[in-house]
Structure 1
Amino acid sequence: MDEIAMAAASALVGVMATDTWRQARDGLVALWRRVRPERAEEISSELETLHTQVLNAHAEADSAEVLQGLEMTWRGQLRALLRHDPRTAAELRRILEEELAPALEPGERERLYKVIQTVHGGTGHNVAGHTVNVTDNRGTIGPTDPKA
């Protein structure tokens, strides 16, 4: 579950700098509303604040440290949600794969894949919004797009 929280937090912070940040907020607030309804409005407000913090961080020279701190904060929020109801992991993974990752800019998406690879020790787990070709010591595995 921790890897889902880590990847989702990373993607969330990345999406907050895009035009689709409201969709990300709405998806996560809906998740909280189902699992912890008493916190849903607070989470909505915190996501609005996160959007502002991410935009401000991108305007600063040392944004990496600030963005990393925001990711850690949201990783904690998501971990707490998953601990409250472990069955939520499947829904969070769906949000990550279908809403957050595809909304990221290509560079941010690549960074997310690296986070996931690091968490899984490079075993080939990916969140993909597009065709993925995986190369390891056995050669190329993929593409994973069934149309390819």
Structure 2
Amino acid sequence: MTAVTRDDLGAWLLKGNADHTDLLGRFTREPRVERWCVQRSYRLDLMSAGQPVLFWASGSRRRGLPYGIWGWGELRGPARRETDGPGWWVPLDLTIAGPSAWIPREVLRADSELAGLEVLRQPQAANPSFVTRRQLEAIRLLQRTSRYEARSG
């Protein structure tokens, strides 16, 4: 995993795997996400309220769901340990967008700034992943211009 510091952190990227969980069903019923599991690492010590968060969906090629960024939001506080086990989670104010607003992996790979995203280089790395400040600005530009919809649709 690549080392991250507060100086280069643009946003945290939390991942979910549609082969392990019915992400589409879950987010269709309730697009708001108030907490997500993370793995213990030094990165959890860098997490704090107000930091941007992106949600990355992976898996489920056999179901035809696109890998990519499905949601946006922010942390509501630092990472917390489960009260009844060894796991960790983060409190969120995050919403999963409708499918037409998802940014597919292919679009991210085609962008010179975003092709180096940690989640593309190291897809098996543990939660949380991250994006740099420059990468976050490039993602926001994609969101604002919707220039990826013509390529993915």
- TM-score normalized by the length of structure 2: 0.23
Q: Which has the greater radius of gyration?
A: 1
Say which structure is richer in helix.
1
TM-score, reference length from structure 1: 0.24
Is the strand fraction higher in 1 or 2? 2
